Amino acid sequence: MSEYTISQFVEKTKQNDAEHDYFELEKPQMLEINLNNQAVWTKAGSMVAYTGNIDFKREGILSGGLGKFLKKAISGEGAKLMKAEGTGRLYVADSGKYVQILQLNEESICVNGNDVLAHDQSLKSDITMLKSIAGMMSGGLFQVKLSGKGMVAISTHGHPLTLLVTPDSPVYTDPNATVAWSGNLSPDLKSNVSFKSLIGRGSGEEFQMKFSGTGWVLIQPYEEVYFQEKA
CATH classification of the domain holding 103: 3.60.160.10
Is 188 within a domain? yes
Classify residue 32 by burial, with Cβ atoms within 10 Å: 0-12, 13-18, 19+: buried
Report the pLDDT value the prediction gives residue 18, as an integer from 0 to 100: 67
Total of domains in the chain: 1
Residue 9 lies in a domain: no
Ranges 18-27, 39-48, 108-117, 209-218: which has the least confidence: 18-27
**Domain contains 119:** yes
H or E element at residue 10:
helix 6-13
Q: How far apart are the first and last CA of the chain?
A: 56
Contact 118, 43 (CB under 8 A): yes
Backbone phi, psi, residue 79, to 5°: -90, 0
Quote the Cα angle for 209-145-161, to 5°: 50
pLDDT of 229 strictly over 50: no
Would residue 1 count as lying in a domain? no
Range of weakest confidence among 58-62, 94-98, 189-193, 214-218 = 58-62
Is residue 46 within 8 Å of 117, Cβ to Cβ?
yes
Over residues 111-163, the pLDDT tens digits come to 988 899 999 999 998 887 765 554 444 444 578 899 999 999 999 999 999 99
Q: Which domain does 44 fall in, by range?
A: 18-219
Is 128 inside a domain boundary? yes
Residue 6 lies in a domain: no
The amino acid occupying position 113 is G
Task: Tell me whether residue 186 is in a domain.
Answer: yes
- pTM of the shown model: 0.80
Question: Is there a domain that residue 231 lies in?
Answer: no
Going by C-alpha positions, the residue among 199, 179, 210, 195 that lies closest to residue 117 is 179
Indicate the burial class of 58 (C-beta count within 10 angstroms; 0-12, 13-18, 19 or more). exposed
